[in-house]
Amino acid sequence: MRKVIYISFLLLLLNIRLFAADVPVIPYPQQVQQGTSFFKPGAGNFLKAAGIDQAMLKRLAEVTKSSTAATKGLAIKLSLSGKNHTVDALIKTYTRQPDWNTKIGEEGYVLVLNNKERLLVANTETGLFYGLQTLKQLTDAGWNKELVITDWPSLQHRVVFDDISRGPISKVSYIKQQIERMASLKVNGLSFYIEHVIQTRAYPDFAPVDGKLTIADVKELDAYAAKHHMQLIGSFQSFGHFSNILSLPQYQSMGETSTMISPLDPKARHFLESVITEMCGAFSSPYFNVNCDETFDLGKGKSKKYTDSIGLARFYADHLKFLYDVVKKNGKQLMMWGDIALQHEEILDMLPKDIVYMTWEYGDPQSYAKWIDPFVKRNLNFMVCPGILNTNRLFPDLAIAKANINGFINEGYKKGTTGAYTTIWDEGGDQLFSEDWYGVYMASEKSWNVKAVFDENFDQRYEKIAYGSNVGYVKAIGKLMELRDLPLTYNMTHEIWWQHILPQNGETLILNNKDVQEGLRLVNEAEQLLQSAKPVRNLSDLATLKYIVARYKLLFETRTQIAALANWYAQQEGKKLLSINKQINKLQTLKNRYVVMEADFRNKWNQENQPYTLDYALKPYRTRIAALSTLEEKLKGLSLSAPLPKAADIGLNLVESDHFYFNFWLLTGPFKSGKFPGFSYSEDPQTNHPPKPGDFAQYQGQQFRWMKYNTDNGGIVNKFKQTAADTYVFAFCTITTEEARQMPALVGNNSAVALFCNDKQVAASERETVQHQALPKETIYNLSLKAGTNYILLKVKSGAAGAAFTFRLDTTEPVTNHKHKYTINANQNSHEAD
């Protein structure tokens, strides 16, 4: 009998869970008991004090005044535990948990809705505030079923971190909107990536005039966040990523290199202490993040001799100890990114034990142990930092963000993280924060309730809560995420947006439209999903998504129209025309679409952001509009009585090709030499290894940085076109393949080239290639690729046209790339995160 009762009880619990899964709340509560009866909202005031004072009631009413519950007459009694014994007894009965007040902790709450009682009880004002956010979501959704929610957070710190230094910088008014919306999701911390955009009183001249937050602004925002039970956490880059400040003449002397401040410079130390002290005074949070991540130039600058004598780990740790003392003197606990300490684990044993390490990884590995375990085994305080990646993308990769947020927080929770610090990176120019909210909702769900699953139910709750109805938003995002798999739009890269659409300065443009039709199919389906959407709140999210879809559509259609025009012109070249008005009208229509979309984007930018970097963000629009206008004027100037000039003379010298040309490289040089330099990557044995961006090559006592380079013409690398004779340029990339294979590679160059694969020179083939007269002459090389990652190095001699070259593989398999890292037939379930 007992067994039957037990099984029945389990089935009852299962039914409650399944039935309760449609409760429209994000983040989803820890415990939900849902009845089958309906209740009628009672008449009277929205908030009633049953165990709190009037001052608290007034504060809570003020920050929840936007709730539609007030207009629907739902009266709710608020009480702090221990203040009203009758209410406490009722809560004990409804939750069936004698220790309910211990379970909910400092930020949890109990919400009871039925025909007898409407109660909200918590241990603190913050708990009541979060309970009211849940009530608001339920009321906005028209909820009218009996319900008991017992809720508390899985993680103590639930922070969103927004990059405001390497692209858009938000307006104060928009940051207040962010605070309100994040607080409604029970996010209790907001921080910013800050390099140079806070204007301090001691050094007011490094912040941009048209894009900054003053100390007064920070204090205003900090107070506004506190009203919404959120902390603003201060941050300042205090080691690497310092180029924005060091580029100013008055601060250049403080640089260890052009990107990193010098730890040994007294002026630099005084600068850091002054700025951090001011910022600590503006942010009331007990934490301060000194960043200190990605110090790429560590051991390469003016203190190299000293660094070599004590070691990189000691050099890094000593600077962190200095920053630790500054932060501690200002009453704060130091936070720092953990990447350098993970590269040199001995650093963790050199630093004070009360530092909070922010350990970050934005991909989807099988395990996050390498980013967590070094802190766990030393019993150090750490937070996991998943990412919503929008760096150099046309739209954030929300598919990888979903997997990353879920996996990283899950493993971090099991191993003792104190919080989740979800980072949003906007490096690249034209990102809008309204693209990121779906990721923010995922982060809020997982950091509050680690048991949460990102399934269809979450998506339905998201649309209902964020927009008031199911509007097709998530399904449209799903269509956009399929663009990640096409070589043309791989990883949502923004390169397709920054590339030229017409040849520049008489040069040739390569146009590969192989994926355009598939891309158009996807964006048309996304557009269709959003056509009938009628959100009732957060309208800017949908407007921005529609803009993203429309921009992709314009990108694809531009490529097909330009290719069609070039083909038409090639057929008419040398002939007399009867009319050209049809082609001119098509160009004008295309140009006007860019003009309209530019105005739309500018409006969206101005709703969120200050003017800083807007001109940069608008550059692709202006470049394309100018190119189309120039071509239009040239076509108008053609004489119908004379043969058409050559395509190169009119600016239509396009090469349409299905071949995948390598566009992204690491370049260094040029090296002045009478013959090919004998070293692979650097003359210095210590740095003669496959490079990373920012590494240096040594040659004849000089340093040459390995620079990231991306062509804007479809694959003709011509950065060094002004290079003198008898000089050599080095170009580096990687090619990854799952299995060893022989692969023909074609290098186009009109002077001389030496090609190396895995540090072995590859001999040129005697086979002839079919040449295109507008491109450099191609030579075939047979690469012996091993399974895994292969290092490709080109040494290119400068000729009459500089050191221009092209590179492609002779394969019909899809080739994709993330920056200078190329993959043959990529596993589409794995995308690059950096």
- The CA radius of gyration of the chain, in Å to the nearest whole number, is 30
Q: Specify whether 181 is located in the same domain as 119.
A: no
Residues 328-340 have pLDDT tens digits of 999 999 999 999 9
* 664 neighbors 733 (Cβ within 8 angstroms): yes
**Kind and range of the H or E element at 822?**
strand 821-824
Q: Specify whether 610 is located in the same domain as 545.
A: yes
pLDDT value of position 751: 86
pLDDT for 654 beyond 50:
yes
State the Cα–Cα distance between residues 163 and 147, nearest whole angstrom.
Answer: 39
Residue 572 binned pLDDT confidence (cut-offs 50, 70, 90): confident
pLDDT value of position 831: 75
Residue 775 binned pLDDT confidence (cut-offs 50, 70, 90): confident
pLDDT for 269 beyond 50:
yes
Q: Specify whether 803 is located in the same domain as 726.
A: yes
Q: Specify whether 437 is located in the same domain as 575.
A: no
Q: Specify whether 567 is located in the same domain as 632.
A: yes
Closest to 109 in 3D by CA, of 120, 97, 95:
120
The rounded mean pLDDT for the chain is: 92
pLDDT value of position 129: 97
Q: Name the CA dihedral angle for 771, 775, 777, 783, rounded to a multiple of 10 degrees.
A: -90
The reply to whether 462 falls in a domain is: no
End residue of a domain, out of 151, 182, 211: 151
pLDDT for 270 beyond 50:
yes
The reply to whether 266 falls in a domain is: yes
Q: Specify whether 725 is located in the same domain as 770.
A: yes
CATH number at residue 413: 3.20.20.80
pLDDT value of position 834: 67
Closest to 183 in 3D by CA, of 448, 505, 493:
448
Residue 6 binned pLDDT confidence (cut-offs 50, 70, 90): very low
The reply to whether 461 falls in a domain is: no
**Signed CA dihedral, 404, 410, 416, 417: sign only:** positive
SS3 for 250-267 is HHHHHECCCCCECCCCHH
* 41 neighbors 73 (Cβ within 8 angstroms): yes
The reply to whether 390 falls in a domain is: yes
- Catalytic residue flag (residue 557): no
Q: Name the CA dihedral angle for 718, 724, 727, 733, rounded to a multiple of 10 degrees.
A: -10
What is the distance between the terminal CA atoms of the chain, rounded to a whole angstrom? 59
CB atoms within 10 A of CB 2: 6
Which tokens sit at 465? 């809560």
pLDDT value of position 41: 55
Which tokens sit at 100? 């309910």
pLDDT for 804 beyond 50:
yes
Q: Specify whether 130 is located in the same domain as 213.
A: no
The reply to whether 510 falls in a domain is: yes
State the Cα–Cα distance between residues 457 and 312, nearest whole angstrom.
Answer: 49
The reply to whether 38 falls in a domain is: yes
**Kind and range of the H or E element at 371?**
helix 369-376
Looking only at the bridges linking them, the beta strands covering 752-757 and 788-797 are antiparallel
Looking at residue 544, the DSSP 8-state letter turns out to be H
Residues 452-471 have pLDDT tens digits of 999 999 999 999 999 999 99
The residue segments making up the domain with residue 759 are: 664-824
Residue 537 buriedness (CB in 10 A; 0-12 / 13-18 / 19+): middle
The arithmetic mean of pLDDT across residues 542-571, rounded, is 96
The arithmetic mean of pLDDT across residues 91-115, rounded, is 95
pLDDT for 585 beyond 70:
yes
pLDDT value of position 553: 98
Q: Is the model more confident about 70 or about 141?
A: 141
pLDDT for 797 beyond 50:
yes
Cβ partners under 8 Å of residue 197, min gap 6: 164, 165, 169, 207, 208, 211, 212, 213, 612
pLDDT value of position 771: 66
Largest Cα–Cα distance in the chain? 102
The SS3 assignment for 99 reads: coil
CB atoms within 10 A of CB 793: 22
Cβ partners under 8 Å of residue 236, min gap 6: 194, 195, 198, 275, 276, 279, 288, 289, 290, 291
pLDDT value of position 454: 95
End residue of a domain, out of 589, 623, 656: 656
Looking at residue 357, the DSSP 8-state letter turns out to be E
Residues 717-727 have pLDDT tens digits of 988 877 777 88
The reply to whether 829 falls in a domain is: no
CATH number at residue 717: 2.60.120
The arithmetic mean of pLDDT across residues 140-168, rounded, is 95
Q: Specify whether 440 is located in the same domain as 489.
A: no
Residue 774 binned pLDDT confidence (cut-offs 50, 70, 90): confident
Q: Specify whether 377 is located in the same domain as 508.
A: no
pLDDT value of position 71: 39
Of 146, 294, 518, 557, the catalytic one is 294
Characterise 758 by phi-psi region: left (phi > 0), alpha (psi -120 to 50), beta (else): left
CATH number at residue 63: 3.30.379.10
CB atoms within 10 A of CB 823: 21
Residues 227-247 have pLDDT tens digits of 999 999 999 999 999 999 999
When divided into structural domains, the chain yields a total of 4
pLDDT for 716 beyond 90:
yes
pLDDT value of position 430: 87
The reply to whether 429 falls in a domain is: yes
Tally the C-alpha atoms within 13 A of residue 634's C-alpha that lie toward its C-beta: 17
| 228-263 CB burial, b ≥16 within 10 A, e <16 | bbbbbbbbbbbbbbbebbbeeeebeebbbbebbbbb
pLDDT value of position 15: 38
Q: Specify whether 573 is located in the same domain as 634.
A: yes
**Signed CA dihedral, 139, 141, 142, 143: sign only:** negative
Residues 399-453 have pLDDT tens digits of 999 999 999 999 999 999 999 999 999 887 789 999 999 999 999 999 999 999 9
The SS3 assignment for 398 reads: helix
* 290 neighbors 261 (Cβ within 8 angstroms): no
Q: Is the model more confident about 321 or about 144?
A: 321
State the Cα–Cα distance between residues 323 and 241, nearest whole angstrom.
Answer: 16
CATH number at residue 518: 1.20.120
Residue 46 binned pLDDT confidence (cut-offs 50, 70, 90): confident
Looking at residue 485, the DSSP 8-state letter turns out to be G
End residue of a domain, out of 87, 122, 151: 151
pLDDT for 70 beyond 50:
no
State the Cα–Cα distance between residues 61 and 791, nearest whole angstrom.
Answer: 62
Closest to 210 in 3D by CA, of 178, 173, 168, 267:
168
Q: How many helices (H) and strands (E) does the chain have?
A: 23, 32
The SS3 assignment for 403 reads: helix
Q: Specify whether 718 is located in the same domain as 579.
A: no
* 25 neighbors 144 (Cβ within 8 angstroms): no
State the Cα–Cα distance between residues 556 and 593, nearest whole angstrom.
Answer: 13
Q: Specify whether 336 is located in the same domain as 245.
A: yes
For the chain, what's the residue count? Answer: 834
Q: How far is CA 699 from the centre of its chain?
A: 36
